[in-house]
Structure 1
Amino acid sequence: MAHGKLNRPARRSTTLHQGTLVLDCDGLSRLVEDSVSVVAIVAEARSRGMEVVISALTIIEATHRKTDRARLAWLLSALRIEQVDDASAKAASALLIATGLHGHKYAIDAVVAEMARRQQVPVVVLTSDADDMRKLCGGSVRLIGI
């Protein structure tokens, strides 16, 4: 799909949003790679008035030497990037404790889950790790596995 067909809205819109689509690392990576299925999910979400959101940490997790930096920058300009502050870090830590998960393997997933749980509903998380995200998000968000 051509880059211009992503139907990019302004980064900060004044319109009311009809929910939120959250991308985890794999969701962002596949969007950068122009995956037909992920581009279609993002386009559908936007057509429904949903805002597309990522954690600032997702950028770090999804970027590697072969990342198309120009495409990443172009895509990031159309996403809302949630910063990680003290309160969100503490809430993500509490999620890990509550679910019995710990360690670096789950740290960024916990940040993404915590962020997803406080977004405009309905919230959909596009993830490659549905099992762990289900534990962290509980029933408060819908998961789409990729």
Structure 2
Amino acid sequence: MTEHFETVVLDSQGLSAWIAEDRKFLAMLQLFHETAADLVVGANTIVEVSHPRVNMPRLRWTLSRVKVEPVTEDAAKASAELLKAAGLHGHKYAIDATVAETALRQPGPVAIVTSDIDDMARLCGGRVRLIGL
């Protein structure tokens, strides 16, 4: 991965990999750091990674190193439009749509670190680079 990204958005898998100190993700993180990319998560991604066994001190530490984007009414409406355009239903893909919407409004070039390449490709089209975990 030699590309330069202004912004890198993490979905729940990306955020979870960082919390778990996954070696593959930490290697990516080093490259993002070297190029001074801004790291971003959507606020509802925090909810998605939270469960009784999550390491809360590690989650708080990780969140202190990213920009957390709110899910506003306008963001929710834009996410709903992405779902409609992709032919997807909000019940299953709501958080994915908000991650995609968050990425699409960031300064580019933008990448999303995700384990869900197919759905993110449907939601984002070719407008962001998808990096698989």
Task: Calculate the TM-score normalised by the size of structure 2.
Answer: 0.94
CA distance in 2, matches of 1:48, 1:67: 29
- The match for 1:75 among 39, 45, 62 is 62
Q: Report the Cα offset of residue 43 of structure 1.
A: 1.9
- The match for 1:61 among 48, 72, 75 is 48
Query: Secondary structure of 1:135's match?
Result: helix
Note the alpha carbon deviations across 1:67-96, whole angstroms, 9 max, x for none: 000011011001000000000000000100
CA distance in 1, matches of 2:107, 2:24: 24
Query: Secondary structure of 2:107's match?
Result: coil
CA distance in 2, matches of 1:42, 1:23: 11
Aligned to 1:6: none
Aligned to 1:119: 106
Contact 1:23 1:127 in 2 (8 A): yes
CA distance in 1, matches of 2:88, 2:81: 10
Gaps of 5+ in 1: 1-17
Q: Look up the equivalent residue of 2:54 and give its one-letter code.
A: T
Q: Look up the equivalent residue of 1:70 and give its one-letter code.
A: P
Q: Report the Cα offset of residue 103 of structure 1.
A: 3.0
- The match for 2:86 among 96, 99, 108 is 99
CA distance in 1, matches of 2:88, 2:96: 10
Aligned to 1:128: 115
Higher RCO by CA contacts (8 Å cutoff, separation 6 or greater): 2
Contact 1:42 1:52 in 2 (8 A): no
Aligned residues: 130
Contact 2:80 2:90 in 1 (8 A): no
Question: Percent of aligned pairs with the same residue?
Answer: 47
Check if 1:25 corresponds to 2:12: yes
CA distance in 2, matches of 1:105, 1:25: 14
Query: Secondary structure of 1:140's match?
Result: coil
Query: Secondary structure of 2:79's match?
Result: helix
